[in-house]
Amino acid sequence: MQVPASFEYERAESVPHALELLERYGEDARLVAGGHSLIPMMKLRLAQPDALIDINGLAELSHLGVDGDTLVIGALVRHAALLADEVVGTYFPIFHEAERVIADPVVRNRGTVGGSLCQADPSEDLSAAFAAVRAEAVILGPGGSRTVPIREFHVGPYETVVEPGEILTELRVPIRPGAGSAYEKVERRVGDWPVAAAGAYLRLDGGVIAEAGIGLTAVGAEHFTAPDAEAYLIGKAAEEAVLREAARIAAESCEPQADQRGPVDYKRHLAGELTYRALSRAAERSGS
């Protein structure tokens, strides 16, 4: 039987209360929401926080909607809620396509968007999706809130810029009329982590690519993205040869590692092929 080691449990009643609890318990406290990463790690003693601060009750972190020209996703939004939201699907099919292949429906009922990002697993799907659309993360601390581009959010495997004492409160995604997006993943079985996955975001203007975002996960892409491939696309027509070349550049920029999900060559091949497929579908979806 796997059971976590003992810890103090506190239930946050509000966001300020959560901050106060974080301050009181210091570095060895962890926030818990869905708990689907943290609780398994605690069972295995890979994580052993002295205190858990439960933020499941904080409705103010569960908001999901459009604010002006920005899609705002509260950190506590469950995967299932993001997947069920029609507005999200209309503007950002990339999120629905990513969510459909994250874990399984029952896990998605509990796991949260913010929790997935803060866990910062190098194979996590939403990290690639948010990187592709250039989201911003809003982080609240004792001194107020700060906004961090998602491409600067992860500082390494299982590490983010969220400091002890801070809370990720929401993700903000700019909505650009006419942009298209898509997500492609290869997994060994339903609900597994990706062998490789790629997200793409394209906005065309006058028949050429005006804005390009590529997100990659599980393949050792720095900050879950491929900036050289993105830069290559700008100003070009979204035609097969161009997208193929961008995908090739993206694959080359990855540093996949061999593991039980596959060897390096295979993962790099997937990074290229999935980037190409995601770019093609994003192009189809974007109005010119």
Partner 1 sequence: MRVSVTVNGQNYVREIEPRLLLVHFLRDELGLTGTHWGCDTSNCGVCVVQLDGVPVKSCTVLAVMADGHEVTTVEGLEKDGELDPVQQGFVQCHGLQCGFCTPGMLMTARWLLDRNPDPDEGEIREAISGQLCRCTGYENIVRSIRWAAEKEASV
**141 vs 191, beta carbon nearer partner 1:** 191
Q: Give whichever of 107 and 210 is closer to partner 1, judged by the CB atom.
A: 107
Q: Which is nearer to partner 1, 32 or 167 (CB)?
A: 32
* 35 versus 256: smaller Cβ distance to partner 1: 35
Q: How far is the CB of 38 from partner 1 (least distance, A)?
A: 9
Structure tokens at 204: 């065309």
SS3 of residue 2 by DSSP: coil
Q: Give the whole-angstrom CA distance, residue 199 versus residue 184.
A: 6
Tell me which DSSP letter residue 288 carries: -
Cβ closer to partner 1: 58 or 279? 58
Return the closest-CA partner of residue 58 out of 115, 13, 112, 109: 13
Helix (H, G, I), strand (E, B) or coil at 182: strand
Among 207, 210, 219, CA closest to 257: 219
3-class DSSP state of 97: helix
In angstroms, give the least distance from the CB of 4 to partner 1: 5
Indicate the helix (H) or strand (E) that contains 92: none
**Closer residue to partner 1 in complex, CB, 57/122:** 57
User: In terms of CB distance, is 23 or 104 closer to partner 1?
Assistant: 104
What is the Cβ-side half-sphere exposure of residue 65, based on CA atoms within 13 angstroms? 6
- Interface contacts to partner 1, rule CB under 8 A: 1-9, 11, 32, 35-36, 39-40, 43, 52, 54, 56, 103-107, 109-110, 190-191
Q: Is residue 149 a contact partner of residue 225, using CB atoms and an 8 Å limit?
A: no
**Nearest distance from residue 190's CB to partner 1, in Å?**
5
- The distance of closest approach from Cβ of residue 141 to partner 1 in the complex, given in angstroms and rounded to an integer, is 25
- Give the 3-state secondary structure of residue 109: coil
Of 104 and 228, the one with the shorter C-beta distance to partner 1 is 104
Cα 219 to Cα 222: distance, rounded to the nearest angstrom: 9
Q: How far is the CB of 51 from partner 1 (least distance, A)?
A: 9
Q: What are phi and psi of 21, to 5 degrees?
A: -65, -40
| Residue 262 to residues 61, 139, 142, 220, 277, Cα–Cα distance (Å) | 38, 36, 44, 13, 20
Residue 219 CB, nearest distance to partner 1 (Å)? 24
Cβ at position 22, least distance to partner 1 in Å:
17
- Minimum distance from residue 84 beta carbon to partner 1 (Å): 10
DSSP helix/strand/coil, 19? helix
In angstroms, the CA 73 to CA 96 distance is: 13
Q: For residue 135, give the DSSP letter.
A: -
